[in-house]
Amino acid sequence: MVATTVRIEKLAFMSSEADGARRAREELVRRYGEVPPEEADAVVALGGDGLMLEALHRFMNTGRPIYGMNRGSVGFLMNDYREEDLRDRLSAAEIVALKPLKMEVVDQDGARHVAHAFNEVSLLRELHQAAKLSISIDGRVRLEELICDGILIATPAGSTAYNLSAHGPILPINAQLLALTPISAFRPRRWRGALLSTRARVRIDVFEADKRPVAAAADHTEIRSIASVVVYEDSQSESLVMFDPDHSWEERNLSEQFRY
């Protein structure tokens, strides 16, 4: 994490379709003006965590930082919404560089698909039959058969989202770790997942795919009826997120671990 060292002047705005987010955008554009995103020093995203994920994908590898303000429901990835002193807040903000996961899928027809995920890659059964999977790490089979509703590979940024709901661990934002978390594991019933290095390459193969079809999703991109998926951190790509110093991502992750 680093603090910004230059004055943020030229702003671009984006918002979700929610009425509150659109009204906020109109007011901020009236106050601060607006330039096209490709000319902006920073992009201000108004909405919830879904909009932030959209912005992370849209501005990946552009070098353009994203400052989110919560006009949604949860807003874990967002800063508090305030209309005053926006340029001062942006100039004082800290920047976190997020590396996405890359998902490479082969479906049952042999077609190949590629997508990125900043939160998680998840595999989920499509029908009433449980999924039957095998898990390999760096070319070595680590779990020959996992019968479950699904499994996910979460980044530190995504560890407080679906991963946490599936009883996976919360990861510090700067941890060089991924969380491999089963969803409703039936066999082996006691397996709770694993922590992996960001250098790990995870391969998951689907058994009996015609009888037990499985879908794979990388954030908002879903591929159905898959045969196998390989997941690893894309070290060549990144998106930049801005946080108020008193509302950092580290603090939010730490606070989440002491909720009861």
What residues form the annotated binding site? 49-50, 119-120, 149, 157, 160-165
**Residue 171 CA: distances (Å) to CA of 8, 26, 137, 157, 178:** 30, 36, 20, 8, 8
CB neighbourhood size of 260 (10 A): 2
Q: What is the dihedral of CA 56, 62, 64, 66, to 10 degrees?
A: 0
Edge to edge, the sheet with strand 214-218 lists: 194-197, 177-183, 150-154, 120-125, 214-218, 221-223
> Does 109 qualify as catalytic in the annotation?
no
Instruction: Report the amino acid identity of residue 201.
Output: R
**Residue 164 CA: distances (Å) to CA of 119, 176, 208, 233:** 11, 18, 29, 20
Active-site option among 41, 49, 107, 219: 49
Which residue ranges are tagged as binding site for NAD(+)? 49-50, 119-120, 149, 157, 160-165
| Token representation of residue 44 | 């201000």
Q: Under a CB-based contact definition with an 8 Å cutoff, are residues 75 and 252 in contact?
A: no
As a residue count, the chain comes to 260
Least Cα distance to 193 among 201, 183, 202 occurs for 183
Active centre residues (catalytic): 49
